[in-house]
A and B are shown apart, each in its own frame.
Chain A
Amino acid sequence: MKDLSRRRLLVSALRMGAAGSLLGMGVFLGRRNGLCTGGDACPGCPERPSCTNPAARKDTVWQIDTSRCMQCGNCATACVLSPSAVKCIHQYEQCGYCDLCSGYFIHDASKLDTGAENQLCPVGAIQRRFVEDPYFEYRIDEALCLGCGRCVQSCAAFGNGSLVLQVRHERCVNCNECAIAVQCPADAFRRVERT
């Protein structure tokens, strides 16, 4: 039987070396690769692109940069989940509460009521409710919303842009590579710190 102690020492040394390099690499990458996405996430920041923000050690999730989003409709189809984890959300603070909501009604609506033939949303996920004259509240039923962005596009073009597409993190699986991010023509998907 060959004397294995030298071999064991060598293997032990290699093991320690491998473990040390792995850990070292982990620490190095964790500190170096900050949250800076290099784009216009933090314009004017002098620390780009090697920001060593300690927040980098926190978890990151995918989110849509609404200033880049062009409402192309890929969010509804490209997500690995069906229905998509992207939903339209309503920023009520920016809403005009209009009677003729451009995000709710089709362009040539025959009557301003809740009839399906007048609605832009293909699944009727927006609920219209009278508040007071002449204001109407528009709420989105997320369970129905597909994330197709038709309402968002119309609201942005003719309204206040209070309807936006956002990734919902209770649904999003947080893939290593977001399938929608790959397809997005406007490169609007970014990894941001989970809040």
Chain B
Amino acid sequence: MKAMPLSPLLRGILALLLILALGPALVAAPVEARFPRPDFSSGYAMPAMEASPAPVLSDPRLATALLVLALLLSGLALYRFRSRRAVRLLSLLCLLYFGFLRKGCLCPIGAMQNVAAGWVDVTQPLSAALLALFLLPLLAALWWGRLFCGAACPLGAVQDWLALSPRRVDARLDRALGLLPFLYLGLVLLFASTGLGYLVCRFDPFVAFFRFSGTASMVLVGVSILGLGVFVARPYCRYLCPYGALLAGASCLAARKVQIPVDRCVNCGLCLDACPVGAIRPPRPRRAAESRDRARRRLLNLLALAPALLALGLYVGSLMAAPLLKLHPDHALDRALDEGRRQDDAVVAFLLQGGRPDELKARLRGRAETLKRGGALLGAFWVLIFMGAVVAASRRNEGEVHEVSRSACIACGRCYEFCPRNGSIE
């Protein structure tokens, strides 16, 4: 820049006028540099700013396309080729890509939380890839069952490969534990939609292995569950996965499912033992029908209890608001402000950014109200789950043939391997 041939006074006046004219812009503009930009005379060229290279293998569009492909191939492997080997190979490939290459993130289980948060908070961005990730396995389940669980999910794949000696779990215990995914689902949705955090991600037992890094407790929990998985196949899928609960619900409506055609079945029962999740039910004799009066009376009693139980659920649920509020970061900030801890990073940042303590308190009060409502809904949801379990347990449990439970079947194809009548199961 050429030096201006003006007297210092004139230069000063000009500078002042400039500042007054550009004042508003200067306030918004970044702070003027303390040290001026150097004038290089040796021909030195400043290095160009390196932007992050565009992802190739982790490209979200590629990931979505591969998920579609995986679901498609899983369906073919299960219903067309009826090959356990094909399902296993596919699950290994998905484990390598969705698990180790993409390090487990983004996943449909996590995406469910983003959708819940986005539902409530309109400023949460939801990209097409994220929505596709959430919706595709559910849509596939509505037509073809839990294809995602069988081959595409890396968490399922790692458990599947490690289920070396699966044992049968007592039916009643299995049913009781099978409620946990639904209860956990409710909790996860509450936490995600009220900004308390993404529980699924924080308590994911396997992600430490995909990332090759994690806290000691994460690794310990992961190893324990994997160790358990050697003897009790797919423990996370059956007893914890909240997205699995949604998929189980969706697959109840599936048009196509794994089934055992009665004209070809020889009642050997090998598939029963083969199924890692106990989704195959043997034929059960027809029990003598209960007297209608007794049954009707029992139904009426249950129906009479239902509103009271729901009200109890709503009330107890709303009580959760107070302890849950303490988990929100705003609460810690409020405490810090109250206790005058002005050196805390969060307090410093809050005040620097123009935050006002009274506004924070008002926000917290609003959150407490939301949590009360959300907690009440959660309580009612949990009561509904229990009631549903009671209804399911008292359903007529008879059948003349082997039946595959649509919601429990995780489409792994292990039964195909064991069936002696090659291709009998379809």
Contacts and interface: CB of A to CB of B under 8 A. Distances in A.
Interface of A: 11-12, 14-15, 18-19, 22-23, 26, 29-30, 32-38, 49-50, 56-60, 68, 70, 72, 80-82, 89, 91-94, 96-98, 131-132, 135, 137, 139, 158-161, 168-170, 173-177, 182, 185-187, 191, 195
A96 B213 contact: no
A56 B127 contact: yes
Interface string B119-141: 10011111111111011001100
Nearest to A156: B31
B123 A37 contact: yes
A158 B345 CA distance: 20
A91 B103 CA distance: 30
A177 B201 contact: yes
Interface stretch (B5-13, B88-96, B105-113): B105-113
B175 to A, nearest CB: 23
Of listed A59, A68, A92, residue having the most chain B CB within 10 A: A59
B166 to A, nearest CB: 31
B206 to A, nearest CB: 13
Contacts of A72: 345
A108 to B, nearest CB: 20
Interface residues of B, number: 73
Contact of B31 (A11, A161, A177, A191): A161
A89 B348 CA distance: 24
Contacts of A80: 207, 211, 213-214
Contacts of B114: 176
Given A80-B214, A135-B38, A176 B33 contact: no
Contacts of B254: 15
Nearest to A158: B34
B49 A176 contact: no
B123 A185 contact: no
B47 A176 contact: no
Interface stretch (B52-60, B235-243, B267-275, B364-372): B52-60
A137 B44 CA distance: 10
B115 interface: yes
B46 interface: yes
A93 B46 contact: yes
B35 A15 contact: no
